[in-house]
Structure 1
Amino acid sequence: MLLFSIFLLPLIGALVLSLIRVDHKSIYLRFISLFFAVLPLLLSIVACVEFDYNNTDFQFVSYPIKNVVIGVDGISLLFLLLTTFLFVICILYNCKMSYTTLKSYMALFLLLESFVVGFFISLNAISFYVFFEAVLVPMFFIIGIWGGKHRVYATFKLFLYTLTGSLLFLLGLVYIHNVFGTFNIQKLAILMPSLDLGVQSLLWIAFFVSFAIKVPMFPFHTWLPDAHVQSPTSGSVILAGLLIKMGGYGFLRFSIPMLPQASLYFSNFVVVLSIIAVIYASLVAFAQDDIKKLIAYSSIAHMGIVTAGLFSFYEEGVLGAIFQMISHGLISAALFLCVGMLYTRTGTLEIAKYFGIANTIPKFGLMFILFSMASIGLPGTSGFIGEFLAMIGMFKSIRFVTGFIALGTILSAVYMLNLCKQVIWGVSYSKLLNNRLDSTEFSILILLAMFVILLGFYPTLALNYLKPCMANLLVKYNTL
């Protein structure tokens, strides 16, 4: 019941926070929020320690509710660890909020954490779908209440895009249950490859639209920049760090293992869309004058590398894609936190208004440069490992594709280096009155930097969990 405890604790925390009266027990709000965020992280670490990464099957499997099965393999375990870690970071960052705001804000974040955890541990297709959709509810309120000037437009765009795509996913699940009589993901991965190509293709398209919107892939990407710009800082951290990874994880759980013939048939189509996403998003990012939009478009470009790696169907490509999702979860979270720290000091997201930060907040300048370099794949950071492995897989699959992806990484270096040039150096910006990061802000950035560098120098920390999963994931493609 270890996994169920990790799922249940944030849910209990959200309930406790909702029952506390602010005027009487507001002093306990921060402690309660941290307690119900840190405890799932500690349990996730226990799961990593006890996990046998030489075993290719799902582990910690249990049935907390009749017909609902949960469990993790090496892939979902790393996403579980990333989830609990990023929510602790967000809770720490949000602790500076006023008590009246803190109560409802933290409750929604803990509720969101529970839904994301439920998504990554689900081995039942219906519970997978329920959590896939449920994350929209707390995110809708987080952006809609605490977002920017155009938050209502952004929230409805996010909601309508993802909901529309998910309806096709639901129709596909209804058909699958009608044919096979089960929603068990493990059983479906064995049964569904026997479907003929025509049926697989229809199901693949239904799944693809849903997951592609969530990633988001070109041309389904337009909701993401608006959502990021209007979202509060912690909302952007979770959106970029976790929620867009749910689409990639959907490909890993449904499209690739269950529909191998259709996945191969449509692989070139996915690769073409990925190339367009990498190059187009990089060019658009370079033209942005809003720092949040620039980082949002960089996320679209990085996820283009992920989808290209996944559909290379080579071990290195898939490993690189998964590693890139974990790495990007850390790096994008750090960049959005940096932007949030700037925004609280200046009240603007306009890039032209930032300059001379190295003179006023030197520690911040160092951290911002580090995460920017990690974003463009500097060797020694986690960003390099994921991109390098994904490119190896793409080179083995379709060689000329690697050149286009490499062009995208060059373009990403152009816009990120240009951003650093504008933001970090120059004459000091007079409105940056606070010339230091507070202890909480600096600790958060240092913690994220440690993991970005650690995974860059010692990627086997993650790859040891991922490699055994490749045998089960790609075995069907060895015979096709």
Structure 2
Amino acid sequence: MTVLILLFLPLVAALAVLLFKNETAKHAALLFSVIELGLAVFFITKFVPNASTQFAVDYPWIPKLGIYFTAGIDGISMVMVLLNTLLVPIIILASYNHNHKNANAFYALILFMQSAMLVVFTALDGFLFYVSWEAALLPIYFICALWGGENRIKITIKFFIYTFAGSLFMLLGIIYLHLQTPARTYDIQDFYGLTLSLKQQSWVFWAFFLAFAIKMPVFPFHTWQPDTYTEAPTAGTMLLSGIMLKMGVYGAIRWMIPVVPLGFDHWQYVVITLAVIGIVYASLIAFNQKDGKRLIAYSSIAHVGLIAAGVFAWTMSGVQGAMIQMLNHGINVVGMFFIMDIISRRLKTRDLNEMGGIAKVAPQFAIAFLIIVLGTVALPLTNGFIGEFLLLNSMYEYNIWLAASAGLTIILGAVYMLRMYKKVMQGETNALTLLFTDITGTEKLVLGIICVLIVFLGVFPNIVMHLSDASVKELVQSVNDKILRAGKY
């Protein structure tokens, strides 16, 4: 079985969902997303966890220009495929309590976006990677612009300009690399085999870094994120935070660092420092947030900053920690935004100062909320622990002072997340929270799935880590060997 079925089933599903209306469209989208998850599980069962690329396809697209539809799955891609296919049905199910106008278009855009992101995570041709990167931007733009909050147009345009501008720099880098290949191709292996000077690699490094840093986002390219997360509909926020920002981390691992290892080595300290600044900055800003959704948005910047720092440290533990943490962060942040969605739908506010005592009237909700908070703050035996441990270990191997600064994300994160839980759930009920009803139906199902995943992946992280272990080891070693050889001459 080829990867084409996995990539284009959501696209076909998106077209089919457009034929349905309202409730039927919602159920059809969920059904197709569950089928896609089942298909991904099938690929995982057939996947051999070594460093090879499997289920590959290679078809001429525009052969005169050296462009081919080349895609495949190795261990790194497999974790990202799992992230994508696992979260999309959860996100669709989490939106069941919203009555979206033109629901068929809303769910079709989600499925279209899923297809584009899957191509991003499996593309082995630079041009295909860029096209799918941009294709993933279009549906989230319309989701935010059509179903977002009051300031959605202004905020969405800012988001689009930021991400599109960054992508243009990446396109210039891809075209430049294409022109340097002897056969004038966009094939990733040809890019890996290029021998460029430090100056050339530095220019290409920054062209790619701008695109990936904006998408993650890394300080100081983060300013679009809190506003966009706040104004986007809940499903849009989940797609952005749970999956789409991981495109930037993945791009750095797959396309930036291995292609220009000397440029990366030269600027490594600078980009790690930017990531660490982002961790501390976002954590401190989160302390002062009264809006629950904005607090979670800044928390996400801090956590992804740690993932980025671990990747840029470029050790086995750092990259492997980033792989497992991308999955775990996606689960946790989707859970947190769903928690805030439940609260804002019931109370008609996200102001934390207006809440309190909800645990007394909604005990099941309180338990689920606490489990997700504990996963987010990386309590041992929850899913967030192993990833953050590996990431901090990699930072310690690189620089103890930067590691100490990056470690603040755990301390500060625990303080502001537990403080938020205390404000919302504990204390006495008030006139607003007294009538808060406990979770039912799809809410209970979504939170149940997320809580089970948090505990299960916390106890058995190797179920995911073994998928990427061989691919990460080979890639890290390959880059380090290139840097080492260059240092000898």
Q: TM-score, normalised by structure 1?
A: 0.95
Residues in 2 aligned to 1:185 and 1:346: alpha-carbon distance in whole angstroms: 51
Aligned residue for 2:102, secondary structure, equals: helix
List per-residue Cα deviations over 1:29-48 (Å, max 9, x = no partner). 23321222111110100011
Go from structure 1 to structure 2 and tell me whether the alpha carbon gap of 1:261 and 1:337 turns closer, same or farther (over 3 Å shift).
same
2:381 aligns with 380
List per-residue Cα deviations over 1:261-292 (Å, max 9, x = no partner). 11111110011111101111000000111111
Q: Does 1:182 align with 2:177?
A: no
| 1:478 CA displacement | 3.8
CA contact (8 A) 2:79 2:323 kept: no
Stretch moving more, 284-293 or 349-358: 349-358
CA contact (8 A) 2:286 2:416 kept: yes
CA contact (8 A) 1:29 1:99 kept: no
1:428 aligns with 429
Residues in 2 aligned to 1:65 and 1:459: alpha-carbon distance in whole angstroms: 39
Code of the residue aligned with 2:16 in structure 1: it is V
Pick from 436, 445, 448: which aligns with 1:446? 448
| 1:436 CA displacement | 1.6
CA contact (8 A) 1:95 1:102 kept: no
Stretch moving more, 9-18 or 287-296: 9-18
Stretch moving more, 251-260 or 212-221: 251-260
1:156 aligns with 157
Q: Does 1:299 align with 2:304?
A: no
1:268 aligns with 269
CA contact (8 A) 1:94 1:102 kept: no
Code of the residue aligned with 1:225 in structure 2: it is P
CA contact (8 A) 2:100 2:147 kept: no
1:75 aligns with 76
1:126 aligns with 127
**Map of 1:207-222 to 2, 5 A cutoff?**
207-222=208-223
List per-residue Cα deviations over 1:102-144 (Å, max 9, x = no partner). 2121111111111111211111111111111112211111111
Residues in 2 aligned to 1:65 and 1:157: alpha-carbon distance in whole angstroms: 36
Residues in 2 aligned to 1:28 and 1:349: alpha-carbon distance in whole angstroms: 31
Residues in 2 aligned to 1:419 and 1:453: alpha-carbon distance in whole angstroms: 21
2:248 aligns with 247
CA RMSD of aligned residues (A): 1.5
**Map of 1:11-410 to 2, 5 A cutoff?**
11-20=11-20, 22=21, 28-53=24-49, 55-63=50-58, 66=61, 67-98=68-99, 100-180=101-181, 181-189=184-192, 191-192=193-194, 194-410=195-411
Stretch moving more, 239-248 or 425-434: 425-434
Residues in 2 aligned to 1:101 and 1:426: alpha-carbon distance in whole angstroms: 41
Code of the residue aligned with 2:480 in structure 1: it is Y
List per-residue Cα deviations over 1:59-103 (Å, max 9, x = no partner). 110135542111111111111111111110122122334475321
Code of the residue aligned with 2:272 in structure 1: it is V
Residues in 1 aligned to 2:361 and 2:258: alpha-carbon distance in whole angstroms: 52
Aligned residue for 2:302, secondary structure, equals: helix
Residues in 2 aligned to 1:294 and 1:27: alpha-carbon distance in whole angstroms: 32
Code of the residue aligned with 2:105 in structure 1: it is S
Code of the residue aligned with 2:51 in structure 1: it is T
CA contact (8 A) 2:80 2:121 kept: yes
Which residues of structure 1 form unaligned runs of 5+?
A: none
Code of the residue aligned with 1:435 in structure 2: it is T
| 1:3 CA displacement | 2.0
Residues in 2 aligned to 1:465 and 1:250: alpha-carbon distance in whole angstroms: 18
Residues in 2 aligned to 1:176 and 1:341: alpha-carbon distance in whole angstroms: 48
Stretch moving more, 240-249 or 56-65: 56-65
Residues in 1 aligned to 2:309 and 2:96: alpha-carbon distance in whole angstroms: 39
Go from structure 1 to structure 2 and tell me whether the alpha carbon gap of 1:338 and 1:463 turns closer, same or farther (over 3 Å shift).
same
List per-residue Cα deviations over 1:277-332 (Å, max 9, x = no partner). 11110000001111111100011101111111111121111111222111101100
Residues in 2 aligned to 1:71 and 1:386: alpha-carbon distance in whole angstroms: 25
Residues in 1 aligned to 2:28 and 2:228: alpha-carbon distance in whole angstroms: 29
| 1:158 CA displacement | 0.7
1:455 aligns with 457
CA contact (8 A) 2:368 2:451 kept: yes
Residues in 2 aligned to 1:469 and 1:165: alpha-carbon distance in whole angstroms: 28
List per-residue Cα deviations over 1:149-183 (Å, max 9, x = no partner). 11111101110000111111001111111111111
Stretch moving more, 8-17 or 200-209: 8-17
| 1:471 CA displacement | 2.7
CA contact (8 A) 1:321 1:386 kept: yes
| 1:187 CA displacement | 2.8
Residues in 2 aligned to 1:65 and 1:456: alpha-carbon distance in whole angstroms: 43
Residues in 2 aligned to 1:445 and 1:430: alpha-carbon distance in whole angstroms: 26
Tell me the matched-pair count: 473
Code of the residue aligned with 2:80 in structure 1: it is F
CA contact (8 A) 2:100 2:106 kept: no
